[in-house]
Structure 1
Amino acid sequence: MLTYNLTNIGSDSLYEYLYKCIKKDIVLGNIKPGERLPSKRPFSKNLGVSIITVENA
């Protein structure tokens, strides 16, 4: 499952930072074309954020 460090996000909001992390993984090829992202509930629980934050990202 995808894991990101959300402690040092700078001036970005939490969902913006998460969005940028996911986008970066796609651009770098860490997330392959056609690969599915984790479902929002387990992903939010794994990251320790709300489901709304994951949905917004």
Structure 2
Amino acid sequence: MSKLKKYLFSTFSITFLSWGMIAVYTQIKNIPFGSSIALYILYILGGLQAVFLLLECSF
């Protein structure tokens, strides 16, 4: 698998997992998004991990 395919796969996987956990947790517990710092951490992790992977992966 090429580096680009690995980068895209890992980027979308981590994003969908972290934001998916936020969606499931807020629906199950019936809480708003801004009620927990852990939800903000998952949100930021899902958004910024692409930058970290890009810095790690040298094309």
TM-score by structure 1 length? 0.38
Choose between structure 1 and 2 for higher RCO, CA contacts under 8 A separated by at least 6 residues: 2
> If each structure's helix is expressed as a fraction of its own residues, which one has the higher value?
2
Bigger Rg, which one: 2
